[in-house]
Structure 1
Amino acid sequence: MFNLAAKPFDYLIVGAGFAGAVLAERLAAGSGKRVLLVDRRPHIGGNAYDYYNDAGILVHRYGPHIFHTNAERIWKYLSRFTTWRPYEHRVLANINSKLLPIPINLTTINTLYKLNLSSEGMQVFLAQRAEEPETIRTAKDVVLAAVGRDLYEKFFEGYTRKQWGVDPSKLDKSVTARIPTRTNTDDRYFGDTYQAMPKCGYTRLFENMLDHPNIKVMVNTDYREIVKSFRHDRLIYTGPVDEFFDYRFGRLPYRSLSFRHVTLDRPQFQPTAVVNYPSTDVPYTRITEYKYLTGQTHDQTSISYETPCDEGDPYYPVPNPENAVLYKKYETLAAKTPGVWFAGRLATYRYYNMDQVVAQSLALYSQLSELDGSLAQDERTKQSIVA
Structure 2
Amino acid sequence: MFDWVIVGAGFAGATLAERIATERDEKVLVIDRRPHIGGNAYDRYNEDGLLVHQYGPHIFHTNSQMIFDHLSKFTEWRKYEHRVLGKVDGMEVPIPINLDTVNMLYGLNLTSEELPAWFASKAEKVEEIKTSEDVVVSVVGRELYEKFFQGYTRKQWGMDPSELDKSVTARVPTRTNRDDRYFTDEFQYMPLHGYTRMFETMLDHPNIKVMTQTDYQDIRNEVSFKRLIWTGPVDEYFGFRHGKLPYRSLKFRHETLDVEQALPTGTVNYPQTEDYTRISEYKHMTGQVHPKTAITYEYPSAEGDPYYPIPRPENAELYKKYERLAMATPNVWFVGRLATYRYYNMDQVTGQALATFRRIQEALPVGGDVIAMPRVVAAE
Q: What range is the shorter-chain TM-score in?
A: over 0.9
Q: Which residue of 1 aligns with 2:82?
A: 89
Q: Cα offset for 1:319? A: 0.7
Q: Cα offset for 1:170? A: 1.1
Alignment map for 1:283-362 (pairs within 5 Å): 283-362=275-354
Structure-2 separation of matches of 1:157 and 1:239: 31
Q: Does 1:48 align with 2:21?
A: no
Structure-1 separation of matches of 2:99 and 2:78: 28
Gaps of 5+ in 1: 1-7, 380-387
Q: Cα offset for 1:68? A: 0.2
Q: Which residue of 2 aligns with 1:62?
A: 55
Question: Which of 191, 213, 221 is matched with 1:220 structurally?
Answer: 213
Point out 4+ residue stretches in structure 1 off by more than 3 angstroms: 374-379
Q: Secondary structure at the match of 1:119?
A: coil
Q: Which residue of 1 aligns with 2:377?
A: none
More moved, 100-109 vs 172-181 = 172-181
Per the normalisation by structure 2, the TM-score is: 0.96
Question: Which of 243, 255, 266 is matched with 1:273 structurally?
Answer: 266
Cα deviation per residue 1:23-72 (whole Å; 9 max; x = unaligned)? 00000011111100000000000000000000100000000000000000
Per the normalisation by structure 1, the TM-score is: 0.94
Q: Secondary structure at the match of 1:124?
A: helix
Q: Which residue of 1 aligns with 2:361?
A: 369
Structure-1 separation of matches of 2:9 and 2:176: 41
Cα deviation per residue 1:304-341 (whole Å; 9 max; x = unaligned)? 10000011111110011010010000000111111111
Q: Cα offset for 1:96? A: 2.1
Q: Which residue of 2 aligns with 1:262?
A: 255
| Identical positions, percent | 63
Equivalent pairs counted in the alignment come to 371
Q: Does 1:11 align with 2:21?
A: no
Cα deviation per residue 1:338-368 (whole Å; 9 max; x = unaligned)? 1111000001000000000000000101111
- Whether the 8 Å CA contact 2:226–2:370 is kept in 1: the answer is no
One-letter amino acid of the counterpart of residue 204, structure 1: R
Q: Does 1:141 align with 2:137?
A: no
Q: Which residue of 1 aligns with 2:192?
A: 199
Q: Cα offset for 1:238? A: 0.4
One-letter amino acid of the counterpart of residue 292, structure 1: H
One-letter amino acid of the counterpart of residue 311, structure 1: E
Q: Cα offset for 1:161? A: 1.0
- Whether the 8 Å CA contact 2:24–2:366 is kept in 1: the answer is no
One-letter amino acid of the counterpart of residue 366, structure 1: R
Structure-2 separation of matches of 1:212 and 1:75: 21
Q: CA RMSD in A?
A: 1.3
One-letter amino acid of the counterpart of residue 103, structure 1: P
One-letter amino acid of the counterpart of residue 202, structure 1: Y
Structure-1 separation of matches of 2:152 and 2:123: 20
Cα deviation per residue 1:160-203 (whole Å; 9 max; x = unaligned)? 11111111111111111111111000000000000000000000
- Whether the 8 Å CA contact 1:132–1:141 is kept in 2: the answer is no
Q: Cα offset for 1:268? A: 1.1
